[in-house]
Amino acid sequence: MWAVIVPVCVSAFNVVVVRAYFVGLPGAIIDSARIDGASEWQLFRHIGLPLSKAVIAVIGLFYGVGYWNSFFNALLYLNDTSKWPLQLVLRTYVVNGAELGSQDLGLSGEAVPPQTQIQMAILMISIIPILVVYPFIQRHFAKGVLTGAVKG
């Protein structure tokens, strides 16, 4: 399981974006906190994090969208199908055309819906979480993406 989790923990692009944001914080705020006796951790916790909500939201969105649809590493490294991520299970039903029986759908003796309808329902399951989360993060997106891009 760690072979799927560890390689995607830190992205170099995201580290550069976050670093550019923190370098761009106003020096006067940091200096005034240091004069008041704030340590480096207090600077980070009380000044850095509250001012960096936009960049944290964008990095979270980048990670979420970037790895939500990834299935290839799990396909390579995981042999146990019970540990497969959602996207690999969905790929099995949609791309490989695995048939769902009436027992898989919880139907007892009833007719199974057409395979195309089942595939479209499975695709909606994979799309809805991103569609639900994105509107809450969207307002921070433009500000966070442009952080560190233009120096003036």
Q: Specify the number of domains making up the chain.
A: 1
Digit-coded pLDDT (tens) for 15-71: 888 888 888 888 888 888 899 998 999 998 988 888 888 888 888 888 877 777 778
In the chain, the amino acid numbered 35 is I
Average pLDDT of 3-14? Answer: 81
Average pLDDT of 92-115? Answer: 63
Residue 95: inside a domain: yes
Residue 3: inside a domain: no
Report the C-alpha gap between 42 and 44 in whole angstroms: 5
Is 109 a residue whose pLDDT tops 60?
no
pLDDT for the residue 3: 77
State which residues form the domain around 56: 10-145
Report the C-alpha gap between 31 and 27 in whole angstroms: 6
pLDDT for the residue 113: 63
Residue 60: inside a domain: yes
Is 145 a residue whose pLDDT tops 60?
no
**Is the CA virtual torsion 86, 118, 129, 131 positive or negative?**
positive
Digit-coded pLDDT (tens) for 70-102: 788 888 888 888 888 888 878 877 776 666 554
Q: How far is CA 61 from CA 37, 68, 71, 89, in A?
A: 35, 10, 18, 23
Digit-coded pLDDT (tens) for 116-142: 777 788 788 888 888 888 787 777 666
Residue 16: inside a domain: yes
